[in-house]
Structure 1
Amino acid sequence: MKYIVFILFTVMTNAAAQLMLKQGMMSLGPISFEGANPLLKLLQIVFSPWIFLGLSTFVISMASHLYVLSKVELSFAYPFLSLAYVAVAIFAYFIFREDLNAWRVAGIAFICVGTVLIAQSGRDLSGRGHEDQTAGLSPDKIRTSGIVR
């Protein structure tokens, strides 16, 4: 649980990157490769300010995620990334006036409940550190931590 701040930083930078990419594509308008060199068009898109900032933010998010993965189990950390959808949906509603209907709200609620359940599975209930939270195989037995998966 002590790495939750880094996990949430990863989630929020991922969500921020999505919002920046959307803003960038709105400012560029529809993409068309007709009559254009595809490579030049791609470079024009990538180096437009909002797109470049969004891609840079994704790099920061990925670096944070790699740090998290070096410290906690993938099956614990990865589901938290679904919270990026929650953040994007809420911010897109306020910033871009996108639809946030009852079905999306229900989906967001399910994502939040699932994330809380997963977060509870990562609590150190036995007083041991992360090193003891993974399954270990020895010649005479298979041991697992006291945490129920």
Structure 2
Amino acid sequence: FKIATQWPIIGGLACYVFSVVVWIVGLSRVDVSIAYPMLSLGYVVNAFAAWYLFGEILSLQRLVGIGIILIGVVVLTRG
């Protein structure tokens, strides 16, 4: 119980609950075939956040992968 009541744990759980609510609202308004591919944008955001915050290297291979993800999302949203 002591660990569960620490502010970082409570804050993390609150963020998780918020993200679930946003996801449910999103699914209620957008086709699932569009909503699920949008989750892949999280990989793009995480890659750039890791580069910016932690100094991780964005190699050519990673940038190509990010580009493929972005092209795939664009293709799915226009179809």
Pairwise same-fold verdict (TM > 0.5): yes
Q: Based on CA coordinates, which of the two structures has the bigger radius of gyration?
A: 1
Q: Does 1:63 align with 2:21?
A: yes
Identity fraction in percent: 37
Instruction: Tell me the secondary structure at the aligned position of residue 44 of structure 1.
Output: coil
Instruction: Tell me the secondary structure at the aligned position of residue 85 of structure 1.
Output: helix
1:94 is matched with which residue?
52
- Residues 100 and 46 of structure 1: CA distance in aligned 2, closer, same or farther (over 3 Å): farther
Post-superposition shift, 1:101? 1.4
| 1:48-127 alignment, distance < 5 Å | 49=8, 51-121=9-79
Output the TM-score relative to the length of structure 2.
0.83
- Residue by residue over 1:105-147, the C-alpha shift from the partner in whole angstroms, topping out at 9 and shown as x without a partner, is 11100000000011112xxxxxxxxxxxxxxxxxxxxxxxxxx
2:3 is matched with which residue?
44
- Residues 48 and 60 of structure 1: CA distance in aligned 2, closer, same or farther (over 3 Å): same
Instruction: Tell me the secondary structure at the aligned position of residue 70 of structure 1.
Output: helix
Q: Which structure features the higher share of helix residues?
A: 2
Q: Distance in 2 between matches of 1:95 and 1:45?
A: 27
Q: Distance in 1 between matches of 2:61 and 2:13?
A: 30
Aligned residues: CA RMSD: 2.1
Question: Runs of 5+ in structure 2 lacking a partner?
Answer: none
- Residues 60 and 44 of structure 1: CA distance in aligned 2, closer, same or farther (over 3 Å): same
1:138 is matched with which residue?
none
User: Which amino acid in 1 is paired with 2:3?
Assistant: Q
Post-superposition shift, 1:46? 7.9
Number of residue equivalences: 79
Question: Runs of 5+ in structure 1 lacking a partner?
Answer: 1-39, 122-149
